Amino acid sequence: MAASFTRDSGTQTPTTYDRFQELKAFDDSKSGVKGLVDAGITKIPRIFCRPKVEDHDSVKPIPTQFTIPVVDLENIKTRSDEVVEGIRKAGGEIGFFQVVNHGVPQSVLEEMLAAARGFHELPTEVKKSYYTREKTKKVIYGRHCLLSHYYPACPEPELTLGTTKHSDPDFLTILLQDHIGGLQVFHQNQWFDVPFLPGALVVNIGDLLQVLANEKGPRVSVACFFTPHLYPSTRIYGPIKELLSKENPPLYRETTVEDFISYYDSKGLDEKSALAHFKLQP
């Protein structure tokens, strides 16, 4: 499975430009990109501009033979072998698939998207009060972390991305996206759209996630990350011993999830997968 990396826009930044300070000022405002849109901007701030797009990294037409796999969980008790094989194939070959007939009512999915959209469209002062309260507590449901994303219509989508290319530092991400779409997966050196499928949940088992900025909007999504690092543990993770041999040696060194996350956080979204740091020399 491949990692996701940021694409460039060709924007030149002056030598006096202090991106960190501008990012900090933006973060401290607690108004988000919605606040910028509400202010009536027609040009995106330079902190969101990406450097020049390379030809080899541009989005290419999707081959007719390629589609994002869809795993149907209907009657899973009598179709378990078929479902497991579908997940194994999709996870191993692409790292992305969509799940339908998962048992979560359509009304619940719609209400979740509506709640995420409603929060981000609250007045700035009301949202600030939420942020202030959350500084004093951390709510964790089991080993899951739930995040909502809100991307307003972008006045210059060709200059930016919804988020930079990156690897998800977890074991599994389940994403609920709305009808606008925008999610892409990097596969066989090409970017492919993950199409909106009513009622489906997108599952990511790899370093393949990217979100594009869009002139349509607002785009809303909710992601559930399976994040065991939220609980301190000394458990060592590594390849399954029974699958190793002289002909099939380990590719990555053993590590704790905490060490992996610590490295991921320290390097930031720098266009490189955190997995490379843990790869054993050939």
- Whether residue 248 sits in one domain with residue 153: no
Name which of 29, 20, 265, 24 is nearest 131 in CA terms: 29
Largest pairwise CA distance in the chain: 64
Q: Is 197 exposed, middle or buried (0-12, 13-18, 19+ CB in 10 A)?
A: middle
- Whether residue 144 sits in one domain with residue 167: yes
pLDDT at 139: 45
Tell me, yes or no, whether 226 lies in a domain. yes
- Whether residue 171 sits in one domain with residue 124: yes
- Between CA 85 and CA 42, with CA 211 as vertex, the angle to 5 degrees is 165
Tell me, yes or no, whether 2 lies in a domain. no
- In one letter, which amino acid is 208? L
Average pLDDT across the chain, whole number: 76
pLDDT at 234: 77
Least confident of 47-56, 93-102, 235-244: 47-56
DSSP, residue by residue, the chain: -----PPEEE----TT--HHHHHHHHHHH--HHHHHHHTT-SS--GGG--EEPPGGGS--PPPTT----EEE-TTTTTSHHHHHHHHHHHHHHTSEEEEES-S--HHHHHHHHHHHHHHHTS-HHHHHHHHHHHTT----BTTEEEEEEEEPPPS-GGG-EEEEEE---SSEEEEEE-TT--EEEEETTEEEE----TT-EEEE-SS-EEEE--SS--EEEEEEEE-GGGS-----B---GGG--SSS--SB--B-HHHHHHHHHHH-SSSS-GGGGGBPP-
Q: What is the pLDDT of residues 245-262, one digit of tens each?
A: 888 888 888 888 778 878
pLDDT at 70: 94
- Whether residue 80 sits in one domain with residue 32: yes
- Residue 111 in this model has a pLDDT that exceeds 70: yes
pLDDT at 129: 78
Q: What is the pLDDT of residues 201-238, one digit of tens each?
A: 998 875 434 455 555 667 777 777 666 655 666 778 88
- Whether residue 187 sits in one domain with residue 82: yes
- Whether residue 134 sits in one domain with residue 270: no
pLDDT at 239: 81
- Whether residue 100 sits in one domain with residue 15: yes
Domain edge (last residue) among 189, 204, 231: 231
- Whether residue 116 sits in one domain with residue 14: yes
- Whether residue 76 sits in one domain with residue 152: yes
pLDDT at 135: 47
Q: What is the pLDDT of residues 262-282, one digit of tens each?
A: 887 776 666 667 777 888 876
- Whether residue 244 sits in one domain with residue 204: no
- Residue 28 in this model has a pLDDT that exceeds 50: yes
Q: Output the domain CATH number for residue 96.
A: 2.60.120.330
- Whether residue 275 sits in one domain with residue 244: yes
pLDDT band at 1 (very low <50, low <70, confident <90, very high): very low
> The tokens of 250 are what?
């380990």
Question: pTM for the complete prediction?
Answer: 0.70
- Residue 198 in this model has a pLDDT that exceeds 80: yes
Domain count, the chain: 2
Name which of 31, 80, 224, 202 is nearest 142 in CA terms: 224
Tell me, yes or no, whether 3 lies in a domain. no
Q: List the domain range (segments joined by +) for residue 248.
A: 237-282
Q: Is 160 exposed, middle or buried (0-12, 13-18, 19+ CB in 10 A)?
A: buried
Q: What is the pLDDT of residues 181-197, one digit of tens each?
A: 878 887 777 878 888 99
pLDDT band at 132 (very low <50, low <70, confident <90, very high): low
Tell me, yes or no, whether 204 lies in a domain. yes
pLDDT band at 114 (very low <50, low <70, confident <90, very high): very high
